[in-house]
Amino acid sequence: MLKINNLHVVIGDEEILKGLDLEIGPGELHAIMGPNGSGKSTLGYALAGRDGYEVTDGSMEFEGEDLAEMEPEERAAAGLFLAFQYPVEIPGVNNAYFLRSALNAQRKARGEEEVDSMNFLKTVRASLKSLKMDEALLKRAVNEGFSGGEKKRNEIVQMAVLQPKLAVLDETDSGLDIDALKLVAEGINAQRDGKRSFLVITHYQRLLDYLTPDRVHVLSDGRIVESGGEELAERLEAEGYAFLEETSEA
């Protein structure tokens, strides 16, 4: 599904990712953990194709395609989804209209029929309901006036509607209370069908408690320094990121 090889990413004059390797197979859920400033969000943005995140070396292959050659919308149409750590407010653009435009643009790019509005609304309503979000949000502007938690849940609603092949969730758990966290986790689990893959970027273990990741990676100073199973996340939680230094010295 996703194959990242020796990825170097530079922002301005500063190299943030310094040779990152990562491979995610179909249906797998991987978690990337790491301290602040380790490059977690940079990875998400680089995958989605944000301006100013320059790939200077290495490669990112998504289903055999070179992501670096694709525009952000082409990556989306190919099935890559980024749930933003800070979802952007778009005043004046209504949520439902936005989501439908996005879905249809992706379908069009893939040569598929546009979705009819009845079916669209049905899907959206179901997603909203499962995340315990008010339907009135559909009529409001995208993320505008949403609470922090609502914004995060709204990302999961979008994921459910857009049905990506790979969802990259950038600190979707931060700022959520425990009930919202469970809802988000349920939203993610509901999408796990054995084919769809997930990359969960997080600072804490608590979301992983509900997700059972296949692999956990530790990102430090722009590289994956350790990989393992769920137990790695527990160890990080118990010992903190300080042990990384010992690891790198060792």
Partner 1 sequence: MSALLEQLAPEAALAEDRYADIRRRAHQRLMQHGFPDLKTEAWKYTSLRLLEKRELGSGQGESAGAPEALPFAADVIHFDGGVLRNPPAELPTGVRLEPLDPAELVNVDYGDRAGAMAWLNLARFEQAWRLVIESTLERPLVLALTMPAGFATAVHPRLRIDVATGAEAVLIEQQHDEGAGLVNIVEDIELQRGARLRHVIHRRNAESIWVQRTRVSVSADADYRCHALELAGRLVRQDLAVHLLEQGANGEIDGVAFIDSGQHVDWHTAIDHEVGHTTSREAFRIMADGSGVGVFNGRIHIQRGADDSHSDLNTANLLLSDKARINIKPELEIYAEEVTASHGATIGQLEDSALFYLRTRGLPTEDAMALLKFGFAAAPLETAEPEVVRNWLIEELQAVL
- Interacting residues with partner 1 (CB under 8 A): 48-51, 71-73, 75-77, 81-82, 84, 87-93, 98-99, 101-103, 105-106, 109, 141, 158, 162
Question: At closest approach, how far in Å is the CB of 40 from partner 1?
Answer: 17
Q: Cα(150)–Cα(118) distance, rounded to whole angstroms?
A: 24
Distance of closest approach, residue 79 Cβ to partner 1, in angstroms: 10
Taking the complex as a whole, the smallest distance from the CB of residue 71 to partner 1 amounts, in Å, to: 7
Residues 16 and 220: their CA atoms lie apart, in Å, by 10
**Cβ distance to partner 1 smaller for residue 171 or 226:** 171
Cβ 80 to partner 1, closest distance in Å? 8
Encode burial over 136-167: b for 16+ CB neighbours within 10 A, e otherwise: ebbebbbbeebeebbbbbbbbbbbbbbebbbb
Q: Strand, helix or coil at 204?
A: coil
- State in angstroms the smallest separation of the CB of 153 from partner 1: 16
2-11: strand order across its sheet: 14-24, 2-11, 53-62, 65-66
C-alpha span between 185 and 197 (Å, rounded): 14
Query: Least distance (Å) from partner 1 to the CB of residue 235?
Result: 33
Q: Is 142 left (phi over 0), alpha (psi -120 to 50) or beta?
A: beta
Which segments of the chain does DSSP mark as H helices, in order?
40-48, 72-78, 95-109, 117-130, 148-162, 178-191, 230-239, 243-249
